[in-house]
Amino acid sequence: MSYLIISFSHKNTDIEMREKLAFGSDDDKDRFIRSLLSNDITKEAILLSTCNRVEIITRSINVKNGTKLILEELSKYSGVSSDILYKRADIYDNDSAVHHIFSVASALDSLVIGETQIVGQLKDAFRFSQSKGHCSVKTTRLMHFAFKCAATVRNATSLGTGSVSVASTAVAKAKNIIKDASDVKALVIGAGEMSELTIKHLLSSGFNVTLTSRNIKKAQNLAKTFEQNINVAPYENLTSLLGEVSVMVTATSAPYPIITEDNTPDASFNRYWFDIAVPRDIDEIDRSGLYIYSVDDLQDIVNENMSLRAEQAKTAYGIVSKMSLEFYDWLKSLDIEPVVKTLYTKADSVIDKKLEQAIKKGFIKHEDEENIRKLCQTVITEYLHVPSKKLKNISKNMECDIVVETIQNMFTSNIDEEIEQYKCDHLSKN
């Protein structure tokens, strides 16, 4: 079995393709993952879908066939041919898959290096698959270590500080254009996490914020979480609002554009609209003085961000590489420990069986049973001490898998059933 990850991101696809690949609802995600698991090739699966990436994280018994089947299912969902998907996809297996997902969790593969949202999004994707029974112990171990790696990078570097999100980048771009944001009206459309981040950065930059959403109750609740006054406007007023504000940021989960030629009024001043949703919220619109920016248009701010964070990123990549190696050492040790434990357990069962038979046949007295048991256990412990120690050392070598499999076949059975599902210590929201 191999770890297999198929990745589409801002690095290998433009926003038009990412729109087609995006999964807008939990039902879509569930159906897609179930389709992957319906064959005998893919055994576990997690699907991460954000504005900048789609990551399909799996365990596969055959990397080549698994890749083919995954891309075929993704082609059915997106309408993009599997040949085009294959040419665009970044495909990782085993060592490279581990390194990649550790990099993703640590925000080193993000459009904005160090952005803090990705690890939470990855945790949500993992929780979703776990709740649906789509992943088991092997993937749980991988995700556990990925979150541990992300926490280590965050604590060891300053990558998670400052303006490090798509939302903050959009606001930074707006502020660069507007210069003096005091008394400038800014409209935010949507009441989700990205909108919350956008409002936070708009307020700190001095903008006067108006919030609107189809879910007016959710918008009102969001507005109450800020100390500054935020005007909450009915969504029915969207058209008039678009004609009144200089800056607008939209981040809804709508599967189609909510702003089109038809509901875009003319204005006598320049307007700057930032669409940080995927699929995009804003259609192709031609209006004098209207400037529309999508996620991919924020690259100049991103490049500046990269140059400032290059040294920190170098340190972070070192951590990722180190922890990728540690992960495989840890996996091998987990394979060894149940084998050693089972050898001792089976030895104890043999002692129990032979003692019972010896007492029945009158070879030993019942009152001597405990002393003889202790003697037998001492013999077994001393006999297995050196082999156990050598097994644990072998876990660090390349031949570990062969040795473990051989011992399992010779002395144990159903070893996997004795391994409890590993609980993740790094699944908290923070």
Which of the following is catalytic: 51, 149, 400, 424?
Answer: 51
Nearest to 21 by CA among 184, 255, 213: 255
Structure tokens at 183: 């008394």
What order of strands is seen across the sheet that includes strand 271-275?
231-233, 208-212, 185-189, 247-250, 271-275, 290-294
Instruction: Give Cα separations from 286 to 27, 189, 255, 292, 361 (angstroms).
Output: 35, 20, 22, 10, 98
Q: Across-strand partners of 91? A: 6
Contacts of 234 (CB under 8 A, 6+ apart): 212, 216
Burial label, 416 (beta-carbon count in 10 A; 0-12, 13-18, 19+): exposed
Distances 351 to 180, 374, 378, 382 between C-alpha atoms, Å: 83, 10, 11, 15
Q: Which structure tokens are listed for 134?
A: 């789509």
With contact defined as beta carbons under 8 Å apart, do 383 and 351 qualify? no
Active-site residue, 51 included: yes
List the catalytic residues.
Answer: 51
